[in-house]
Copies of this chain bind each other. A is one copy, B any other.
């Protein structure tokens, strides 16, 4: 008999005040908190954001979810994690998995969710503030209004697709902009976005960097996790 419950809680992009009231309550009443890492050496950013809401009686479990996930040939580490989570749930535990930003938006949680759903585990997912929303409010940059279309593009997407999407969107969010920075800036320029574009990294932290002159910036100025917000002129 399985009486426990698995919760995926989005902790938002960094400021602990941006957790939802519901998410913070669930974290505070958890039996087990899973702090996911992709490597043994990683620090868990999600755990740092959530820590002020964690009850001292709650057990914190480090769990490594390798970045590779193939639904048909599930990695042993993933299956082992599922087994451990299943055991907690069979003991009736409330298990909370922390995830940065929003759980259903470019997140490893999506794979965890599928893994557990396929095994018929009871799951509730609590949304979180996506980074681009936090950045927009923080710097006062409206994301999209009226009948306009906004596209969210990882700079690692196919170059032709990026160019085609920029042609038809009024507003853009570009993520992971470091690696293909020059290509991104060229596309922004050609499609009339460059005069209303701003790049932000480490939003809200002391190391925060806001770059408004993208044309005269270079890839070396760009943090891996920088986000660009832009609207067509």
Contacts and interface: CB of A to CB of B under 8 A. Distances in A.
Interface of A: 8, 10, 12, 15-22, 24-25, 102-107, 110, 113-114, 117, 123, 125-130, 133-134, 136-138, 140-154, 156-158, 161-162, 164-165, 167-169
A133 B136 contact: no
Nearest to A151: B151
Given A113-B140, A169-B151, A19 B18 contact: no
A178 to B, nearest CB: 14
Given A16-B21, A21-B16, A127-B129, A149 B134 contact: no
A144 to B, nearest CB: 6
A74 B69 CA distance: 54
27 contacts: A10-B133, A12-B20, A16-B21, A17-B20, A17-B21, A17-B25, A18-B20, A19-B20, A21-B21, A102-B133, A102-B137, A104-B133, A106-B145, A114-B142, A127-B129, A127-B134, A127-B137, A128-B133, A129-B129, A146-B154, A147-B156, A147-B158, A148-B157, A151-B165, A152-B152, A165-B165, A168-B168
Contacts of A150: 151-152
A8 B137 CA distance: 9
A104 B151 contact: no
Nearest to A130: B133
Closest 6 pairs (CB-CB, A-B)? A17-B22, A104-B136, A125-B137, A127-B133, A164-B168, A110-B142
